[in-house]
Amino acid sequence: MVVRKAVITAAGPDQRTLPLQTVIDRGGEARTVLGAIAGEAIDAGVEQIGVVVRAGDEAAFAAAAGGLAEKMRFIAQDRPQGFGHAVACAADFVGDEPFLLLVSDHLFVSGGAVGCARQLVDLAQAEECSVSGVQATHESKLPRFGVVGGRRLPGRQGVYEVAEVVEKPTPTEAEQRLVVPGLRAGRYLCFFGMHVLMPTVFGLLGQVMAAAAEGVFDLSGSLSRLAARERYLALEVDGRRYDIGSRYGLLEAQLAMALAGGDREEVLSMIVDLLAQMRAPNC
């Protein structure tokens, strides 16, 4: 099993302009959010990237991709019917191959030398199954994420066998169905914003959408069906995800990247100087 393709979803009404923003990466270089996410995929060994965009946005995204556009195919989502529908739009591009799935409203900062997506791809290729990145997250943030329930694999640090997936559960629902032994009380395995999925998921998404032609379709329901059908793992990624669509999310992601890079001391000095200026009495 080799993961050669990636899909980035970027057509959501609240999401479509975020990938066009500019950030400074860990190396101190300016690049768009789309470029940073695509770079994450390429560093994981991906050769081709399908970007799901709103019809008419293709030119703007190609410009934001810069030199990486030659590795991309832009796929139009003709109507805003949710994340699951966006993923389904990439079925022809993916074909019968496993693929890396990334959302465009998150930026990722690895905790070590191995990138977040690379960690996920390495596990999926070794185990030959679907793997979702997860992060232990406080229950107060459950309304923002899909959440997995399951059990830790014996002898495997941070690897879980997924039994169930629920989209944005209430705290009560999570406590009843999604508690994972070994996690701190009040914490759940929430999606990290990246997955490696087998093409089986397209058939499951197709079944859901065929049963209800209208509406908004999430991905979590189909992933829960995937868990009941075949082996499906979750990996606690060594790194952090930053939701750039949240309030101050882009600022937080930018600071995290800067502090993880070679300009850490310069950035820390800037922060200290800024705080000192704000505390100083007015002249």
- Pair 163, 151: CB distance under 8 Å: yes
The beta strand positions in the chain, using DSSP E, are: 5-9, 22-24, 30-32, 48-54, 72-77, 99-103, 106-110, 130-138, 146-152, 159-167, 187-197, 232-236, 239-243
Tokens 């990439």 locate to: 90
Residue 51 CB partners (closer than 8 Å, separation 6+): 7, 8, 10, 34, 61, 65, 72, 73, 74, 75, 104
Per-residue confidence of the chain (283 residues) as pLDDT tens digits? 999 999 999 998 878 899 999 999 988 899 999 999 999 999 999 999 999 999 999 999 999 999 999 999 999 998 888 899 999 999 999 999 999 999 999 999 998 889 999 999 999 999 999 999 999 999 999 998 999 999 999 988 899 999 999 999 999 999 999 999 889 888 999 999 999 999 999 999 999 888 876 778 899 999 999 999 999 999 999 999 999 998 999 999 999 999 998 889 988 998 999 888 888 766 4
> CA separation (Å) from 155 to 151, 152, 158, 160, 239?
12, 9, 9, 11, 21
Q: Residue 153: helix, strand or coil by DSSP?
A: coil
Kindly state the tokens that stand for 273.
């100087």
Strands 72-77 and 48-54: parallel
Residues in the chain: 283
pLDDT number for residue 153: 93
- The model carries a pTM of 0.92
Number of folded domains that form the chain: 1
CATH number of the domain to which 258 belongs: 3.90.550.10
Show the domain range for 43.
Answer: 5-279
What pLDDT sits at residue 282? 63
- Distance of alpha carbon 162 from alpha carbon 84, whole angstroms: 19
**Amino acid occupying residue 212:** A
